[in-house]
Chain A
Amino acid sequence: MKFKSVFDIMGPVMIGPSSSHTAGAARIGRAARNLFGREPKWAEIHLYGSFARTYKGHGTDVAIVGGLLDYDTHDTRIRNALDTAKQKGIKIRFHEEDSHTDHPNTARIRIGDDDGDLELVGISIGGGMAEITELNGFELRLSGGHPAVLLIHNDRYGAIASVTAILARHEINIGHMEVSRKQEGQQALMVIEVDQNIDESILQELERADHILQVAKIVD
């Protein structure tokens, strides 16, 4: 069964007008912000399909930037997100793309500052739910429905075991997990969806684990 909670039906509480074009878009933006770990100084946002065609009417642009500012779907500050970003000096550019994508509501977001950047692709699948399908060139499948932790690590034996051992010690159950790499022996990405929220101290512990280079989390 796809829907497990009554609050998947009666919810989310959100800023209108569209669960897919507004709430889902905000969640994609917020996922990028979460994974980047800090407020970016610039953002290049590419919109595809229905997103590209109707974003102004739906406030998809406003919602994505709201997400980048770490606003939740029900945060009324979303409405003024473009102005707020401007005041903060964040440079934002939107690109309406013509090319075809697998999903009609797709956004590719590149954000960064002087210390680094990040690129992800997100899709809004309806009812306010979003999925991340690509991160820094790694393909992945990440639903927004559960808290998740993403780890960039060296592609070596023992990396996965050291991470799962830490989660087990803190009694955190893994619901879904996948590992992808661009090339054998180079960098790899571990995506772990969990049932419980992971607090900051566990993240720090994960960062110190063998072969782990970078850790980020997505909240429920």
Chain B
Amino acid sequence: MFRNVAELVEMAESEGIQISEVMIRQEMEVKERTREEVFGQMERNLDVMEKAVEDGLKGVKSHSGLTGGDAVLIQEYMKNNNPLSGDILLDAVSKAVATNEVNAAMGTICATPTAGSAGCVPGTLFAVKNKLNPTREQMVRYLFTSGAFGFVVANNASISGAAGGCQAEVGSAAGMAAAAIVEMAGGTPSQSAEAMAITLKNMLGLVCDPVAGLVEVPCVKRNAMGASNAVVAADMALAGVTSRIPCDEVIDAMYKIGQTMPVALRETAQGGLAATPTGRELEAKVYGISLKKE
């Protein structure tokens, strides 16, 4: 079993296999399941993600009315204009938003690693797909590579907003996505680790401050930016840029930052954007009362 990113990369490179293959083999061994079973379960997760993106791009609205419809806006803009940030980036953004809008509207999603951060991995996958033309198997492998890096974060730090802030949720999800993009684009295992490190470094300190405690504002747009962060970091790693701070140390820094983060900024709807005048106003509209602690 790999305990950290360094061991994960070492296992892949010494055996000349991909990160996704290390994860598949470990899952088979730990759970005593066949390759077909493990692969099949992940493929079903892929089907769920694909359907969620499709639904989101048709336009959905959440029960509270706080979110919905932005994925459609972005897609229409892309069709009718020449986006400044480029097609792949904006496509990833719209599909991440689509996933989280479906989540907010009580649709079916796959938590990657959580429901609130479910947009980054599928958003980037279904965007880079159009450029890299992967096989179905490579798309499933994308999810195993994401899972391998998420596995390290979950065991050595945290993937919970209540424990570590948004950096632990969207930060982890974006880093996982960056590492998976690198593998799909033909990069090395160590380049995947660099992409994860570069992404996570730039999401350190991000707090979890959802308006009215709901997984909507700012979660949907945080997934959008997490996805774009992942695509850019993957390109940087593929260009040969490395992180001066090794991936495992970045993950450890994220953990320690989470531990020192005030409770008001860890999924309690007591601080940050949740505590802004507009945040409080929206909260009062949703519940008919304010959640503010006197």
Chain B residues whose CB sits within 8 angstroms of the CB of A127 once the complex forms = 111, 113-114, 159-160
Report the bound CA distance from A3 to B27 in whole Å.
Answer: 12
Task: From the candidates A8, A14, A104, A128, name the one contacting B162 in the complex (CB within 8 A).
Answer: A104
**Known A10-B45, A23-B115: A5·B27 in contact at CB below 8 Å:** yes
- Give the residues in chain A near B118, CB-CB below 8 Å: 16
Contact A13–B44 (Cβ < 8 Å): yes
Q: List the B residue with the shortest CB-CB distance to A49.
A: B268
Query: Complex: how many Å from CA A11 to CA B108?
Result: 11
Chain B residues with CB below 8 A from A16, complex form: 102-109, 115, 118, 215
Who on chain A is nearest to B99 by CB?
A: A16
Query: In this complex, what residue of B is CB-closest to A59?
Result: B106
Q: In this assembly, does A9 line the interface, its C-beta being within 8 Å of a C-beta of chain B? A: yes
Q: Answer yes or no: B257 CB below 8 A from chain A CBs.
A: no
Give chain A interface residues in 5-49, CB to chain B under 8 Å. 5-20, 22-23
| Interface contact B213-A9, CB-CB below 8 Å | no
Assess whether A23 is in contact with B107, with CB atoms less than 8 Å apart: no
Q: How large is the interface on A (under 10, 10 to 19, 20 to 34, 35 or more residues)?
A: 35 or more
Number of CB contacts from chain A to chain B under 8 A: 146
B31 interface contact, C-beta 8 A: yes
Query: Which B positions have Cβ atoms within 8 angstroms of A?
Result: 1, 3, 23, 26-27, 30-31, 38, 41-42, 44-45, 48, 62-64, 102-116, 118, 121, 143-144, 146-148, 150-151, 154-155, 159-160, 162-163, 212-216, 268-269, 286-287, 291
Residues of A within 8 A of B (CB): 1-20, 22-23, 50, 53-54, 56-59, 62, 74, 76, 78-79, 104, 126-128
- Contact sample, A vs B, 29 pairs, CB 8 Å cutoff: A1-B3, A3-B151, A6-B23, A6-B27, A6-B147, A7-B45, A9-B159, A10-B42, A10-B110, A10-B113, A10-B150, A13-B45, A14-B108, A16-B103, A16-B104, A16-B106, A16-B115, A16-B118, A16-B215, A17-B103, A19-B111, A22-B115, A57-B213, A57-B286, A58-B213, A59-B106, A104-B268, A127-B159, A127-B160
